[in-house]
Amino acid sequence: MTVTIGLVGAGRRAAHVHAPTLAGSPDVSFTGVWAPTPGPVRELADRHHVRSFDRFADLLDHCDAVAFAVPPPVQAELATVAAQRGKSVFLERPMAGDIAGAEQLAEAVQRGKVVSQIGLVWRYSTDVRRFLSTEVGRVKPDGGAGRLISGSHRPGGSVSAWRVERGVLRDQGVDLLDLLEAILGPIVGVRAHGDRGGWVGLMLDHQVGRFSEASMSATAAPETFRADIEIFGPGGGAALDCTRASGPHTYRTMYQEFADAIRNGGAPVLDVRHGLHLQRLIESADTEVLLGT
């Protein structure tokens, strides 16, 4: 069974990540593109020799699943409609603009009994998976620390304005929290401080009596890029560099596993339930940062 997937979005991430991966994947059939802002849709569709759709409803009529590359509030609204129409959904992270939107989307997926998968890119990386399967067991960590530092939100950068407005925590922090949780166990407590538009620090309590710290900023010098995690325990220590965890191979793995889940009726671990959990963590931390508590 070939899984047909339509793409919603025609911006930078749609053009550089999703469309090329869908077009080059042997596991799926790339149906076409639609976007809320129609300007670049035809150009992107023509580049990959697929159809450009004038209406979202028409795209849904021609696919088994939908991949989204639009801002989180828009994604939540449109993906809810897609799930209600019985379409499986591949979602960017975070999955919604707020907790209410995430809850509504999660409910629609559950009621529609469709497959959902969150594009937490690091988790599909060969190096990250090797670290999780070997180093974590060897170290038996008591705790750890993670950093996500870049200049991507500096003035004149290439990221969309809505990403800068949301701040580094709500734009990128979900990847760091997700990976710290995969290494150290479920996060049950979050304390946060910092500047939403600058440096943000988190102290995380994990369910199994482990602890971690996460630091992030997207306003460092333009050439700066750090994405790493260190863990320590009775077995020693280990470090994981995530700066090269994203790339074509990782993106292909994401979509291959999404297509496999649709064909086999599986339920990916990184589904909307996990996405909702991460949304709650991020929103709780962001509230503390804003209130300065």
* Percentage of the chain exceeding pLDDT 90: 94
The answer as to whether 16 is a domain residue is: yes
CATH of the domain at 190: 3.30.360.10
Tens digit of pLDDT for each residue in 135-176? 999 999 999 999 999 999 999 877 888 899 999 999 999 999
**Does one domain contain both 72 and 146?**
no
What is the residue type of 18?
A: H
The phi-psi region of residue 44 (left if phi > 0; otherwise alpha if psi is between -120 and 50; otherwise beta) is alpha
- Shared domain for 51 and 75, answered yes or no, is yes
Amino acid symbol at 183:
I
pLDDT tens readout for residues 20-31: 999 999 989 999
Q: Does the pLDDT of residue 293 top 70, yes or no?
A: no
Res. 1 pLDDT band, cuts 50 70 90: confident
Does residue 72 lie in a domain region?
yes
* Type and span of the H or E element at 159: none
If asked whether residues 144 and 191 sit together in one domain, one would say yes
For residue 279, tell me if it sits in a domain: no
Residues 148 and 87 in one domain: no
β-pair type (28-34, 51-52) = parallel
Q: What is the DSSP letter of 2?
A: P
Q: Is 95 part of any domain?
A: yes
Do both 133 and 206 map to the same domain?
A: yes
Does residue 255 share a domain with residue 236?
no
Determine the structural domain holding residue 135 and report its residue range.
Answer: 126-243
**Do 154 and 218 share a domain, yes or no?**
yes
Once rounded to an integer, what is the mean pLDDT over residues 12-41?
96
Whether the CB-CB separation of 171 and 218 falls below 8 Å is answered with yes
Same domain, 107 and 183: no
Report d(CA 73, CA 159) in Å as an integer. 17
What pLDDT is attached to residue 202?
A: 99
Query: Are 235 and 261 within one domain?
Result: no
pLDDT at 292 (0 to 100):
86
Same domain, 12 and 94: yes
Between CA 128 and CA 131 the distance in angstroms is 5
- CATH for 89: 3.40.50.720
DSSP one-letter string for 193-245: EE-TTSEEEEEEEETTTEEEEEEEES-S-TT-EEEEEEEEETTEEEEEE-TTS
Give how many domains the chain has, as a whole number. 2
- In sequence order, the 6+-apart residues with CB closer than 8 A to the CB of 283 are 98, 99, 170
Residues 256, 112 share a domain: yes
In a domain, 9, yes or no: yes
